[in-house]
Structure 1
Amino acid sequence: MTRARVNFVLFAAAAIGAGWLGLALDRFTGEDGSNGVAFSESQGTLGQLVFILGPAIAALGLYLLSRDGAGRLGLTLRFASRTKWFALTAAFYPAVSLVAVGSGVAAGAVAWSAEPATGRPTLIAATISVLAVQLIKNPIEEFIFRGYGTRTAAALGLPGRLTPHLLAGAVWAAWHLPLYLVWTSASDMRLVTSLPTALFLPLLFAGLMVAAVLYGEVRMRTGSIWPGVVMHTRRQRGHHAAAAQRARDVHGAQRRDLLTGAVGGHRDGADRNCRSGPHLRCPKFTQPMVAHRLTSD
């Protein structure tokens, strides 16, 4: 087995196992695993710190101590057509969101309100509050799965242009399992999606695989993870805070997240309370996490 293959196997084991190790740590310290910490306003847990930093430390350690000739980690900001790539990646997901939400408006499934619901933050405040945590988390996540994962998978010499992206994407998707299966409470899962978990997870995985191809291909073409960081941040927070916070259900049924699964998109936690009445009206989606939270992709 080549050094690159050994490194990728070790990397995959470390990334997938980090969350489960973090859960074991939480249980050892008496932290309730399924306590809604993934989407609540709490400070998270020590196990969740292991979940996000463990794979990063493993990737950096393998890069420094087990040289495989697979190339650099893509941390550079110097690459050809830099302005074009940053502009393209910044605009991509807002355009997708516009199509997704516009389709909902055209179909009568979504209405828009220019003002936030009573007690809800303004659009600008919601965007700023969710951006802070993403500016910490997303560079770490892209370093792990595109900076090291895609780079190492590409060195395996497997046939197919998409194969490295799909391999790294499979590890990335599996990394999310502890987050949704344990750290996210049942009540918060109902805020993430109206779908049953058995259906939501395969769709989430499919969306993440598509995103892995997008971010990975940009990383390979530019030699840098930073355009992917921009895409990742725009997918998760830029357009979600701008669009999902202002979308509301006009049919009196369940909340709908039109952005879920849109080219790999998935929405995080929303407001927990719905007001009942002649027509059920759920408050506009917001992101309640505070800036120091590192979880949730």
Structure 2
Amino acid sequence: MGIWLVFPMLTAIVLILYSKISWKEIGIKPNFKGNLRWYLISVLIFPAVTVTILVIGNAFKWIDMSELNLRTFTGVFFSTILIGFIKNIFEETVWRGFLTSQLVKLNLTDWKIYLLVGSVWGIWHVPYYMMFLPETDMQVVLPVSRIIFTVVAILTMICWSIMFIELYRITNSIWPCVLLHTVEDSLINPLVISGFISISSGKEIVISPICGVITSLLYLSVGLAIKASRRRQTKVQSTVC
């Protein structure tokens, strides 16, 4: 699993070293100046959408939160932050920093970039979903076969990829994406898999904080909103120049 995790980043490093690609293109610098609000937004996106989903799910009695002890959950959340942050440096350097930056250089349309990055990012997860993910954890998230679970997960990541890509492009840095990804891993996965909430049978695909249709549409909307901000920012900069 460790080899699977680090191999894409090692491949990207080799390609950078033996090509004309500059490290500046990857977005290694944090670029805090003028982007602090995007750092804050990257931390708040998953909590805000998750709270919205919990409110909707509770209102329709699709989600039971009786086992949600906020003090215990907060401890679980912070206990996973550091390892998640380190892990996500490997992912975001490759999928946003390297792959996205090189596709942008090809002058592809935004939707082609979303689809390509989201698909490659999702397909890379296939070994995880087909082999590494414990069956019990998978069934809690979405009680289907591994193949169907994998397809749903890839489609989910395509929806998510828009906000990841747009955060990267508007800040020209991988670090807001690392924060976004870290909060996601530490928030929604334990929330569902560790049993802090339970979802009514058959409603997982609708309202799950991980892979529900409503959830994915909300993240899609967030991504498009960041895209609109980036375009306005680009237009203003062009006008000033």
TM, length-normalised to structure 1: 0.63
Distance 1:84 1:182, change over 3 A: same
Aligned to 2:44: 91
Give the CA deviation at 1:106: 0.2
1:144 correspondence with 2:94? yes
Distance 1:95 1:151, change over 3 A: same
Q: 1:112–1:246: 8 Å Cα contact kept in structure 2? A: yes
For this pair of structures, how many residues does the alignment match? 211
Q: 2:81–2:183: 8 Å Cα contact kept in structure 1? A: no
Aligned to 1:20: none
Which has the larger share of helix?
A: 2
Deviations 1:183-225 (A, max 9, x none): 2344443234213334322221111011112111111111001
Deviates further, 101-110 or 130-139? 130-139
Query: What is the aligned counterpart of 2:72 among 115, 119, 122?
Result: 122
Give the CA deviation at 1:70: 9.2
- One-letter code aligned to 2:80: V
Query: What is the aligned counterpart of 1:184 among 126, 133, 136?
Result: 133
1:228 correspondence with 2:177? yes
> Does the residue aligned with 1:162 lie in a helix, a strand or coil?
helix
Q: 1:208–1:264: 8 Å Cα contact kept in structure 2? A: no
Question: Would you identify which runs of 4 or more consecutive aligned residues in structure 1 move more than 6 Å?
Answer: none
Aligned to 1:61: 14
Give the CA deviation at 1:63: 1.1
Which runs of no fewer than 5 residues in structure 2 stay unpaired? 219-241
- One-letter code aligned to 1:236: D
Deviations 1:88-137 (A, max 9, x none): 11111111111111111001122323665xxxx92232112322320111
Q: Distance in 1 between matches of 2:176 and 2:113?
A: 18
Aligned to 1:195: 144
1:157 correspondence with 2:107? yes
Aligned to 1:104: 57
Q: Distance in 1 between matches of 2:180 and 2:39?
A: 9
Q: Distance in 1 between matches of 2:198 and 2:153?
A: 22
Query: What is the aligned counterpart of 2:168 among 219, 235, 252?
Result: 219
Distance 1:89 1:113, change over 3 A: same
TM, length-normalised to structure 2: 0.76
Distance 1:71 1:129, change over 3 A: closer
Distance 1:182 1:238, change over 3 A: closer
Which runs of no fewer than 5 residues in structure 1 stay unpaired? 1-47, 266-297
